[in-house]
Amino acid sequence: MAYAILGDTNKMIAYRLGLSTSRVSLLLRKLGLRTRAQLVKTIREFQALH
């Protein structure tokens, strides 16, 4: 998630973590997120609660 929040592409995240780009996309979808914007919004909302 941190790499995505920093603006890395799925391809770059996959490279850094040793995963395929499709696996990165799948993991984001499993979190219930369709877009990076949703990810950033969710993280910010979570941080605001704590």
Domain range annotation of the chain:
2-49
pLDDT tens for each residue of 5-24: 888 999 999 999 999 999 99
Element spanning 13, H or E: helix 10-17
Residue 32 — pLDDT band, cuts 50, 70, 90?
A: confident
pTM: 0.72
Location of structure tokens 């993280």 = 43
Q: Distance between CA 8 and CA 31 in Å, rounded? A: 18
